Amino acid sequence: MADDQRGFVRFRFLPRVFMAVASSVPPDEIRERKASLRTRMREERARLAPEVREAFGRQACAHVLTHAEAIGLDPGHPAVVAAYWPVGSEADCRPLLETLHERGFPCVLPSVVGRGLPLVFRAWRPRDQLLSGPLGTRQPAVTAPERIPGVLVVPLLAYDRHGRRLGQGGGYYDRTLAALRRRGPVVAIGFAFGLQEVASLPATDDDERLDWVATETGVLRCAGGEDA
């Protein structure tokens, strides 16, 4: 792994033989590992002081903006960008959302429309009034126009350098990314704190991969078996 002086980190996937070993773990064991890791990572993330979380979030936003075009945020061809409204101790991507809106990117927020269904994305602008959603989320009114994002900024509890992501356990982003990727190219950016990185996450075939991860230390590219 090599990095430059601007906090931009590049790396490779491990060989595919690793993936075959990982996928041989029984599903019940994977679920148990994930549940245990969720508990631990929630506790570790909550230990960060609010002012530290705020500072780290702004640093992660700055890294994304510094490398915007490499990530897929080309101001000459602005994609629809989906982000999220942070809940609890999640990394706060709202400064990024606001800046991208100022730069002409159409921005959307996710809405839960039903258990077991993919998320839908509705238009967002600064000062829009948001409604309460499931599990403490905030989402646009149902009257806001629906858009299909090309870039998603995604919350998480843990990640590894192979693009695996551990979420809250509802499977919403896995279903959503799978559905979007069936339509065409989509860039998924995990947004997190560096302490949320683990060496290797348990995963199943239904778990969708991240393309990038942004933290206070830089931007990591997850490239399937190729040089980043």
Q: What is the pLDDT of residues 31-69, one digit of tens each?
A: 999 999 999 999 999 999 999 999 999 999 999 999 999
pLDDT confidence of residue 175: 97
Return d(Cα 227, Cα 10) in angstroms, integer: 8
β pairing state of 138-139 and 131-132:
antiparallel
Q: pLDDT tens-digit profile of 145-195? A: 999 999 999 999 999 999 999 999 999 999 999 999 999 999 999 999 999
pLDDT over 60 (residue 209): yes
Of residues 216 and 22, more confidence is placed in: 216
Q: pLDDT tens-digit profile of 82-139? A: 999 999 999 999 999 999 999 999 999 999 999 899 999 999 999 999 999 998 999 9
pLDDT confidence of residue 85: 97
Strands (E), the chain: 2-3, 8-10, 81-82, 107-111, 120-124, 131-132, 138-139, 151-154, 158-159, 165-166, 187-191, 212-215, 218-221
Tokens read off for 122: 């509705």
Residue ranges of domains in the chain: 2-221
Tokens read off for 189: 């950016």
Q: Are 107 and 97 in contact (CB under 8 A)?
A: yes
pLDDT over 80 (residue 13): no
Check residue 54 and give left, alpha or beta (phi > 0: left; psi -120 to 50: alpha): alpha
β pairing state of 2-3 and 8-10:
antiparallel
pLDDT band at 17 (very low <50, low <70, confident <90, very high): very low
Return d(Cα 82, Cα 122) in angstroms, integer: 9
Which of 1-10, 94-103, 197-206 is predicted with the least confidence, judged by mean pLDDT? 1-10
pLDDT confidence of residue 25: 78
Q: 2-221 is classed in which CATH architecture?
A: 3-Layer(aba) Sandwich (3.40)
Return d(Cα 172, Cα 139) in angstroms, integer: 14
User: What's the pTM value of the predicted model, to 2 decimals?
Assistant: 0.86
